[in-house]
Amino acid sequence: MAVPSCPVCEVHTESVFRVEGMHCHDEVSLLERRLRHLTGFEDLSANVVTERLIVRHDAAQLSASAIADAVADTGMRAWLEADRPGAAARPRRAPYYCLGLSAAFLLAGAWLELSGGLPQLVAAACAVAIASGGTVTARKALGAVRARSLDINSLMLIAVLGAVLIGEWLEGATVVFLFALAQVLESRSMERARGAIRSLMDLAPVRALVRADAGERETGVEHVQIGEVIIVRPGERFPLDGRVVAGESEVNQAPLTGESLPVSKSGGDQVLAGTINGRGALDVEVTRAHQDTTIARIIDLVERAQSQRAPMQLLVDRFARRYTPAIIALAVALAVLPPLVAGAPAGTWFYRALVLLVMACPCALVISTPVSIVSALAGAARRGVLIKGGLHLERTAIVRCVAFDKTGTLTRGRLDVVDVVALDGRSPSTVLALAASLEMRAAHPIAHAIVRGARGRGLKVAPGEMVQSIPGMGAEGQVDGVQAVVGNHRLFHERGLCSPEIDMRLEELAARGRTAVLVASAGRTIGILGMTDLVRETGPSAIEELRRQGIERLVLLTGDNATTARVITRDLHLDEFRAELLPEDKLQAVAELRSRYGAVAMVGDGINDTPALAASDVGVAMGAAGSDAALETADIALMSDELRKLPFLVRLSRATRRTIVSNIIFSVAMKAGFLVLGVAGLATLWMAVVADMGASLLVVANGLRLRYLE
Ligand code: ADP
Ligand code: MG
**What tens digit of pLDDT does each residue of 526-566 get?**
999 999 988 999 999 999 999 999 999 999 999 988 888 99
pLDDT at 89: 44
Alpha helices in 530-582 (DSSP H): 539-548, 562-571
Alpha helices in 43-168 (DSSP H): 64-73, 94-114, 119-146, 152-165
**If you measure from the C-alpha of residue 353 to the centroid of ligand 1, how many angstroms do you get, rounded to a whole number?**
71
Domains of the chain: which residue ranges?
Answer: 13-89, 94-197+304-372+658-708, 207-291, 380-401+536-653, 411-535
* Total Cβ atoms within 10 A of residue 654: 17
Nearest CA to ligand 1 atom 4: 407
Nearest CA to ligand 1 atom 11: 559
| pLDDT-derived band at 92, boundaries 50, 70, 90 | low
Mutate to test the pocket of ligand 1, among 476, 488, 584 (most ligand atoms within 8 A of CB): 488
Q: Strand, helix or coil at 704?
A: helix
Active site residue 405: yes
**If you measure from the C-alpha of residue 479 to the centroid of ligand 1, how many angstroms do you get, rounded to a whole number?**
21
pLDDT, one tens digit per residue, over 54-84 is: 888 888 888 888 898 888 888 788 888 755 4
DSSP state of 536: P
What b/e sequence results for 328-365 when a residue is b if at least 16 CB atoms lie within 10 Å of its CB, and e otherwise? Answer: bebbeebbeebbeeeeeeeeebbbbbbbbbbbbbbbbb
Tell whether the model's pLDDT for residue 306 goes beyond 80.
Answer: no
pLDDT, one tens digit per residue, over 34-46 is: 888 888 898 888 7
Phi, psi of 359 (to 5 degrees): -95, 10
CATH number of 13-89: 3.30.70.100
In terms of DSSP bridges, do strands 618-621 and 636-638 run parallel, antiparallel, or are they unpaired? parallel
Q: Rounded to whole angstroms, how far apart are CA atoms 102 and 108?
A: 10
The answer to whether the beta carbons of residues 556 and 406 sit under 8 Å apart is yes
**If you measure from the C-alpha of residue 628 to the centroid of ligand 2, how many angstroms do you get, rounded to a whole number?**
15
Is there a common fold for 207-291 and 380-401+536-653? Answer: no
**534 HSE (CA, 13 A, CB side):** 5
Ligand 1 pocket residues where CB is under 6 Å: 405-408, 439, 442, 444, 446-447, 469, 472-475, 486-488, 515, 517, 558-560, 607-608
Superfamily (CATH) of domain 380-401+536-653: HAD superfamily/HAD-like (3.40.50.1000)
SS3 content of the chain, % helix, strand, coil (to 5): 50, 20, 30
CATH number of 207-291: 2.70.150.10
Q: Rounded to whole angstroms, how far apart are CA atoms 436 and 447?
A: 7
Please give the C-alpha separations between residue 66 and each of 118, 143, 304, in angstroms, as whole numbers.
Answer: 50, 16, 25
Average pLDDT, the chain: 86
pTM: 0.78
pLDDT at 399: 96
Calculate what percentage of the chain has a pLDDT beyond 70. Answer: 92
Mutate to test the pocket of ligand 1, among 407, 452, 486, 498 (most ligand atoms within 8 A of CB): 407
Residues with Cβ within 8 Å of 375's Cβ and at least 6 positions away in sequence, in order, are 193, 196, 703, 704, 705, 706, 707
The matching CATH number, chosen from 3.30.830.10, 3.20.20.70, 3.30.1490.20, 3.40.1110.10, for 411-535 is 3.40.1110.10
Tell whether the model's pLDDT for residue 5 goes beyond 60.
Answer: no
Annotated catalytic residue, options 26, 151, 241, 405: 405
